[in-house]
A and B are shown apart, each in its own frame.
Chain A
């Protein structure tokens, strides 16, 4: 478990954050810039000192103001990957990597991490000659080689272009799946969070607004201002059932039924997460007929957003919560109210390239309509 309850004040900035999360998988700290994300992760690492509070990671008390405990950063055994890499410019990549080695580890561990991150060809180079993506891979390797019990990552993709971002994301997923290292991941980018996070810590104005499983928080209407409106949608865990060659469609099983998507090469039984954006879902009172959409699912309206604009978000329970964004005019003319039975028409399903199990994952993003 990661248990945090800290109060921090500097000049006119204050942070009062309390949450606890399982120390497995990826815990994402998500919030706008200025919400205190970096301060919070620096406090975890011991680089900033809170005024009062307590931090416990896996039964080790790292900070406790009432007991006078403040473990030095070098003794916390937390790896830290910074936004800007922070490789030592006067050392080769290899010396950077072994800088934090706790004990003389077996050469196999070094080799395994070098192979995991594909940094073998870089070992003799200096950080100044590396690209941004290469720097971040070395920085990740350096943090891993000090054998941390928890890896902290502060917007590790923020300084990279889109291509490098997806490259590093792949490596982070590998870490999660192959090294099984718990990660605390700070970001303000919702696409990264949806792809990576298991547990979400929503931070707003120096306070924790909500903590919980990603799927739950992303479907909560009251958190919409924090989780973002345009990309808003439901995150649904699915399992591959089968792919039918005759229709060239793959069936994905989820708690409310089956989703059909264009055939993928994912093996049956593969579990992962898809995202259905609110703007890709339409509603119908009657089972629609003569329509090209493949995914039409019946559900119950459970919540209606109170945005004052022309568009309204409607939450429908189809076995799991799903959002539909419709016009206010349609809401009124169809007389949609909470408790009403309704059909949801899903236009598109986007696959987040990650797996919930520990197998190979592939990326597909397809229209299903």
Chain B
């Protein structure tokens, strides 16, 4: 008997894909938001800050509902997307990824913002006097010094995306093979008579993934810290 049943493998791969796409696609946006919050001043900044953090405090069902209203086939943005490009993300795994990304976004931005605030702007100024333009300074000084924070943000976001339930089931429903990620599959099994054993197996699987992700990120973080050295970079 194989280690995992085909259904379990389906749910696992779907979950990994949804979480990975959600995390990777929101990375540039997360960096931009972190920059906006840490380095710029503009009117209405506290509103933007609040909006980014909203998914952290709202019930996930509300986020899922708002996504449905906005991005559903007849939603405000969804209808335009469908009419213009023929794209529909409601009730697809892409919708699940969007829901996971929105829910994970505040955690990602928070970690990146903190690490950006810890970057010594004096080092950036020094780089500029050495002839580096803003772009080169960002790539060669700011980004490497932020790296541990970026990694932390990615890990947090990935973990949050992997566990996303409420917004997903509200926005894209619970379709086997399309939107039934590990948490949804686990939930389905608990609603099924005689599903306890299968549910327990899924729970163990989820725990195993979480532990593996933690160990991997810990190892990566240590390597990054070693690269940055124990000098100014660890002041934070």
Residues of A within 8 A of B233 (CB): 89-90, 128
- Chain B positions 102 through 130: 1 when the CB is less than 8 Å from some CB of chain A, otherwise 0: 00000000000000000010110111111
Is A73 in contact with chain B by the CB < 8 A criterion? yes
Total interface residues on A, CB under 8 Å, equals 30
Q: Is A110 an interface residue (CB 8 A)?
A: no
- Contacting residues, chain B, for A126 (C-beta < 8 A): 229, 231
Task: Name the CB-closest residue of A to B232.
Answer: A89
Residue A87 CB within 8 A of the other chain: yes
Tell me if A156 counts as interface (CB < 8 A to partner B): no
Asked if A84 lies at the interface with its beta carbon under 8 angstroms from chain B, I say yes
Chain B positions within 8 Å of A143 at CB level: 129-130
Residues of A within 8 A of B125 (CB): 47, 73, 86
With A and B bound together, what is the CA distance between A223 and B43 in angstroms? 48
In Å, the complex CA distance between A317 and B229 comes to 58
Which residues from chain A contact B131 at a C-beta distance below 8 Å? 74-75, 77, 100, 102, 146
- Whether B200 is near chain A, meaning CB under 8 Å from some CB there, is no
* B133 CB, min distance to chain A CBs, angstroms: 5
A89 touches B129 (CB 8 A): no
Instruction: Flag if A74 contacts B229 (CB, 8 Å).
Output: no
Q: Which residues of B contact A87 (CB under 8 A)?
A: 231-232
B contact residues around A76 at 8 Å (CB): 129
Q: Are A86 and B231 in contact, with the CB atoms below 8 A?
A: no
Is B229 touching A128 in the complex (CB atoms < 8 A)?
A: yes
Q: Are B132 and A100 in contact (CB under 8 A)?
A: yes
Q: Tell me if B229 and A80 are in contact (CB < 8 A).
A: no
- B127 engages A47 (CB within 8 Å): no
Interface residues of B in 203-236 (CB under 8 A from A): 227-234
Closest residue of chain B to A127, judged by CB?
B231
Contact of A80 with B133 at beta-carbon distance under 8 Å, contacts A89-B229, A89-B232, A127-B232 already known: no
A82 near B128 (CB under 8 angstroms)?
A: no
Complex Cα distance, B229 from A88, in Å, reads 10
Picked from B123, B127, B129, the residue with its CB within 8 Å of the CB of A45 is B129
Contact B123 A86 (CB under 8 A): yes
Interface status of A142 (Cβ within 8 A of chain B): yes
Give the residues in chain A near B227, CB-CB below 8 Å.
Answer: 90
Given contacts A89-B233, A90-B233, contact A80 B228 (CB under 8 A): no
Residue of A77, A78, A126, A152 with most chain B CB atoms under a 10 A cut-off: A126
Q: Which of A77, A79, A88, A152 contacts B127 (CB 8 A)?
A: A88
Q: How far is the CB of B143 from chain A (nearest CB, A)?
A: 10
Give which listed residue, B123, B132, B232, contacts A74 with CB less than 8 A: B132
In the assembled complex, the Cα of A73 lies from the Cα of B128 at a distance in Å of 6
Q: How far apart are the CA atoms of A99 and B126 in the complex, in Å?
A: 11
Q: Decide: A78 and B129 in contact? CB cutoff 8 A.
A: yes
Question: Quick check: is B144 within 8 A (CB to CB) of the other chain?
Answer: yes
Interface residues of A in 40-55 (CB under 8 A from B): 45-47
Q: A80 near B132 (CB under 8 angstroms)?
A: no
Interface string of A125-166 (1 = CB under 8 A from B): 011110000000000001100100000100000000000000
A99 touches B130 (CB 8 A): yes
Task: State whether the Cβ of B63 lies closer than 8 Å to any Cβ in chain A.
Answer: no
A89 contacts B132, C-beta separation under 8 Å: no
Closest B residue to A73 by beta carbon equals B128
Instruction: State whether the Cβ of A72 lies closer than 8 Å to any Cβ in chain B.
Output: yes
Cross-chain pairs A/B with CB under 8 angstroms, 25 sampled:
A45-B129, A46-B129, A72-B128, A73-B129, A74-B129, A74-B130, A74-B133, A77-B131, A86-B126, A88-B123, A88-B127, A89-B123, A89-B145, A89-B233, A90-B144, A90-B227, A90-B228, A90-B233, A99-B127, A99-B132, A100-B132, A126-B231, A128-B230, A129-B229, A129-B230
Q: A87-B232, A146-B131 are in contact. List 9 more A-B contacts (CB 8 A).
A: A72-B128, A73-B125, A76-B129, A89-B229, A89-B231, A89-B233, A100-B130, A100-B132, A146-B130
Which residues does A use to contact B, with CB under 8 Å? 45-47, 72-80, 82, 84, 86-90, 99-100, 102, 126-129, 142-143, 146, 152
Which of B's residues lie within 8 Å of A, judged by CB?
120, 122-123, 125-133, 140-141, 144-145, 227-234
